[in-house]
Structure 1
Amino acid sequence: MRRLDIRIERFPIRGAFTISRGSKTEAEVVTLRLSEGGLTGWAESVPYKRYGETLESVTGQIEGIRVELEAGASRADVGRLLPPGAARNAVDCALWDLEARQQGLPAWQLAGLKEPKPVTTAYTLSLDTPEAMAEAARNAPGTDLLKLKLGGENDLDRLRAVRDAVPEARFIIDANEGWDFQTLERLAPLCADLGVVLIEQPLPVAEDHLLTRGRYPVSICADESCHTSEDIERLADRYDAINIKLDKTGGLTEAIRTLDSARSHNLEVMVGCMVGTSLGMAPAVLLTPYAAFVDLDGPLLLNADRSPALCYQRGQIVPAQSGLWG
């Protein structure tokens, strides 16, 4: 019989993390452990405030299926017992880790995926004044791919300031639904000239219908608009790319389905994250061989990561046998 352990943990953020919807100073995560036969699989998830999730609601969802989990529920069972979201992510990824340890195989092999290789991750700059964002860009830890949180009146000034500070860098812009259509029409051509390679979720979800795939010189990526594989067909003629986050899909199992669907529609894939520790990033690393863009910098934004942790070197995630997960 399995044993389930659920904990709430908090990891201070270096400074503050600010987007168009607000700011926070710590990563609040739900850590789940499933133990069976002397082995333990574990995982981490971050409740999505944008969708009404809280630490209490996520732990409550998991507690609600404790009996089934401890009786041996499978990943397929969990997909029926829980909706997509942070609770299912923690359970699904803990089950992947437990199975990998039980079989003595890496999780990427169990999942039928390519072996992850060193990959460049974006580094996120919080929404701030142009001067502060330029300074943050100069101090970024060794990557040439920066993700700028935007969504304010002076966004073009912010972008130009960062461009001047790091003229060789490439940029992902993330407005977190903070632009309107007129702003997108005005800024997209200018973004292309300033080194932007991707614009993430510029419009509110309810305004997706205004978008047309291939309309702009910079690819437009769905984030808040895309949760699971069921969303792909609806978005395929509007967006050029999708951002897969395991806290949206509800774990690695559905993330793989979402990846497969996106590729079948010739959409570019970005693998993203919430602000969390290496434990939250590790399952998402399995998708990176298929991604055009990787944004798994959560641990770099923290004062301190878990131990063991993923290996970050000069802007790259370097897969290592640390025993962390999978």
Structure 2
Amino acid sequence: MVEIISAQVERWPVAGAFIISRGAKTHVDVVVCTVGDGTHVGRGEGTAIYYEGESAESCAAAIAAYRGPLDRASVNRLMGRGAARNALDCALWDYEARRAGVPVWQLAGLAEPVAVPTAFTISLNDPAQMEADAQAAAVRGFALLKCKLTGEGDRERIAAVRRGAPGVRLIVDANESWAAMDIAAEAAALASLGVELIEQPIPHGREDMLADVRSSVPFCADESLHSREDLDRLAGFSAVNIKLDKAGGLTEALALSQAARARGLRIMVGCMLGTSLGIAPAFLLAQGADWVDLDGALLLAEDREGRLPVQNGMLMPGGLWGQADA
């Protein structure tokens, strides 16, 4: 019988600093859940949604406190969404695949995964530094850059990024910082610089602010979207950013993606900071997404053994999660 073996907190340093409008991070704490039956073992990783009040420690405690049946249906019914359920849900997917002798993609009825281009994040900084960072990312082969913005001086930042990497595609993430701005005017200015997507310009809970905004650049819900229950509130958005930690695991994320597509929404698959153990399940979800932003492990100073391969800005199939036991 499968049981929870452990739920442990690990700290991983960030390469330099990861800076957004809400502050800077020099490390990330993740919770790693391990389940097994004495023969087969599965692991899953979650990164706490800190703006929702989660911490890696509270997620580990929630996993340790779980007393329901250890199957994905029960876990998704009995645990609330968030990083704790994500770690446990993904550990169960990994365990089931190893026990069944097939990879997770096959177990889930998905097509065999192929390489996908991922965005690379340009942290919030002064324009000159963002220009240099964009140039360095383009040299590494990243053809899609995601720029963090703050609601002040954003046009100058994106103009600088465009100078540093004139041939790349650009998306931006305001992280809820445009509430006091003329959103339509700002979107038009960024459109002239080639920005193709604007992520979460308004605060969560103020989705009504986009109701009458006309923009040639689509808006993408991030903090405003966690699970299927949120879809009815997103009238001003034409795209959604699905993250496993928000949704509470691969099980809900797959269902959310299907429901969003049925409403005509475009899909971004994103992530929190974390290692390849947390990115690997999202890589399966990212197959066929309109935008992929799975650079969470690439922003760390180091990654765990069995990392997902990356070549010229492309995430490649591989790694140790979700594979059949030999």
Fold conserved between structures, TM > 0.5: yes
User: Of the candidates 108, 111, 114, which is equivalent to residue 117 of structure 1?
Assistant: 114
Quote the Cα distance in structure 1 between the aligned partners of 2:65 and 2:41. Answer: 21
Secondary structure in 2 matching 1:205: coil
Counterpart for residue 285 of structure 1 = 283
Q: In structure 2, give the amino acid aligned to 1:147.
A: K
Quote the Cα distance in structure 1 between the aligned partners of 2:212 and 2:296. Answer: 29
Secondary structure in 1 matching 2:6: strand
Contact 1:213 1:239 in 2 (8 A): no
Quote the Cα distance in structure 2 between the aligned partners of 1:198 and 1:142. Answer: 20
Q: In structure 1, give the amino acid aligned to 2:174.
A: A
Kindly report the root-mean-square deviation, in angstroms, between the aligned alpha carbons of the 2 structures. Answer: 1.4
> In 2 relative to 1, CA 213–115 (structure 1 residues): closer, same or farther, beyond 3 Å?
farther
Question: Taking structure 1 as the reference length, what is the TM-score of the superposition?
Answer: 0.95
What is the CA-CA distance between 1:152 and the residue it aligns to?
A: 3.8
Deviates more, 1:84-93 or 1:181-190: 181-190
Counterpart for residue 255 of structure 2 = 257
Per-residue deviation, residues 187-228 of structure 1 (Å, max 9, x unmatched): 101111111111000111122112148831111000000000
Contact 2:31 2:57 in 1 (8 A): no
Secondary structure in 2 matching 1:137: helix
Secondary structure in 1 matching 2:152: coil
Question: Taking structure 2 as the reference length, what is the TM-score of the superposition?
Answer: 0.95
> In 2 relative to 1, CA 213–74 (structure 1 residues): closer, same or farther, beyond 3 Å?
farther
Secondary structure in 1 matching 2:35: strand
Per-residue deviation, residues 49-96 of structure 1 (Å, max 9, x unmatched): 10000122111111111x43xxx5211110122100000000000000
Counterpart for residue 87 of structure 2 = 90
Contact 1:116 1:288 in 2 (8 A): no
Counterpart for residue 19 of structure 2 = 18
Contact 1:241 1:269 in 2 (8 A): yes
Quote the Cα distance in structure 2 between the aligned partners of 1:234 and 1:24. Answer: 30
Contact 1:279 1:324 in 2 (8 A): yes
Quote the Cα distance in structure 2 between the aligned partners of 1:44 and 1:278. Answer: 9
The 5 A counterparts of 1:134-283 are 134-140=131-137, 141-180=140-179, 182-212=181-211, 215-235=214-234, 237-283=235-281
Quote the Cα distance in structure 1 between the aligned partners of 2:100 and 2:236. Answer: 42
Amino-acid identity (%)? 48
Counterpart for residue 316 of structure 1 = 314
What is the CA-CA distance between 1:323 and the residue it aligns to?
A: 2.7
Quote the Cα distance in structure 1 between the aligned partners of 2:61 and 2:244. Answer: 19
Quote the Cα distance in structure 2 between the aligned partners of 1:181 and 1:218. Answer: 19
Deviates more, 1:204-213 or 1:170-179: 204-213
Deviates more, 1:258-267 or 1:30-39: 30-39
Q: In structure 2, give the amino acid aligned to 1:19.
A: I
Q: In structure 2, give the amino acid aligned to 1:76.
A: A
Quote the Cα distance in structure 2 between the aligned partners of 1:95 and 1:212. Answer: 40
Quote the Cα distance in structure 2 between the aligned partners of 1:225 and 1:3. Answer: 32
Quote the Cα distance in structure 2 between the aligned partners of 1:103 and 1:162. Answer: 47
Stretches of structure 1 lacking an aligned partner (at least 5 in a row):
none
Moved over 6 A (4+): none
Quote the Cα distance in structure 2 between the aligned partners of 1:230 and 1:220. Answer: 19
Q: In structure 2, give the amino acid aligned to 1:27.
A: V
Matched, 1:33 2:34: yes
Quote the Cα distance in structure 2 between the aligned partners of 1:13 and 1:181. Answer: 31
Quote the Cα distance in structure 2 between the aligned partners of 1:221 and 1:212. Answer: 13
> In 2 relative to 1, CA 323–201 (structure 1 residues): closer, same or farther, beyond 3 Å?
same
Count of aligned residue pairs for this structure pair: 320
Q: In structure 2, give the amino acid aligned to 1:166.
A: A
Stretches of structure 2 lacking an aligned partner (at least 5 in a row):
none
